């Protein structure tokens, strides 16, 4: 029979590790993590004022020695189950007034898979950069891949996969995301409900 003590010790340490992570996040950023949310390596992440996140959110920036960086501006809101991953040398910059819908994924690095004589897991990762300019809205379930800039005041429709740059004031949808129109129409007149 195996020795049960290492497993018992591991199980007892986990709540304390989570409490320590929550304390570090609050101390560094003033953010109280809701249940199920996790920020790994909060010392590698810069977060602006009035930041909000919901349960299930995951922020990763663990490889600072490889150049990983995660910068979040002021008044940024993350809905449920958002994953922002700046590991493996990736860099993610989120500007002010950005809204990220539920279930979105931002991943700033990919696995290499060119060599067939090695397992994909054993190949290097290819880091990149993701930039979300001011006043961007990502709908539910949007996936943003590396080397993408989403321009100011753009909207990305639910379920889209963003593989290339989106110009400012654009509305983009689809897999891969394509611009279907711009937001430059200034003929908006508020209705009674909006007034």
Q: Which residue has the higher pLDDT, 103 or 7?
A: 103
pLDDT, residue 32, reads 62
Q: What is the CATH number of domain 5-112+120-182?
A: 2.160.10.10
Question: What is the mean predicted confidence (pLDDT) over 15-21?
Answer: 64
Q: Using CA atoms, how far apart are residues 175 and 169, in angstroms rounded to an integer?
A: 19
- The predicted pLDDT at position 195 comes to 47
Of 111 and 80, the structure prediction assigns the larger pLDDT to 80
User: Where residue 88 falls among pLDDT bands split at 50, 70, 90?
Assistant: confident
pLDDT digits (tens, 9 = 90+) for 110-120: 888 888 898 88
Query: pLDDT value at position 98?
Result: 96
User: Of the given ranges (86-95, 130-139, 186-195), which has the lowest mean pLDDT?
Assistant: 186-195
Q: Verify whether residue 111 is a known catalytic residue.
A: yes
Closest CA to 186 of 139, 153, 149: 153
Q: Looking at residue 113, what is its pLDDT?
A: 86
Q: Catalytic residue among 17, 27, 49, 111, which? A: 111
Least confidently predicted of 10-24, 61-75, 109-123: 10-24
């Amino acid at each position: 029979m195996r020795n049960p003590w290492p497993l018992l010790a591991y199980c007892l340490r986990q709540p304390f590790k989570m409490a320590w992570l929550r304390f570090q996040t609050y101390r560094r950023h003033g953010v109280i993590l809701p249940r199920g949310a996790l920020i790994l390596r909060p010392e590698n992440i810069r977060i602006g004022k009035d930041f909000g996140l919901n349960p299930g959110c995951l922020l990763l920036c663990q490889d600072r020695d490889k150049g990983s960086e995660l910068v979040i501006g002021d008044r940024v809101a993350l809905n449920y189950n958002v994953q922002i991953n700046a590991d493996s040398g990736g860099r993610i910059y989120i500007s002010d007034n950005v809204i990220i819908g539920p279930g979105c994924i931002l991943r700033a690095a990919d696995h290499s898979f060119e060599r067939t004589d090695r397992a994909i897991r054993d190949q290097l990762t290819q880091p990149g950069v993701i930039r979300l300019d001011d006043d961007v809205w990502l709908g539910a379930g949007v996936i943003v891949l590396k080397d993408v800039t989403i321009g100011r005041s753009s909207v990305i429709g639910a379920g889209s996969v963003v593989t290339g740059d989106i110009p400012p004031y654009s509305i983009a949808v689809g897999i891969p995301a394509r611009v279907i129109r711009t937001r430059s129409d200034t003929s908006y007149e508020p209705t009674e409900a909006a007034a």
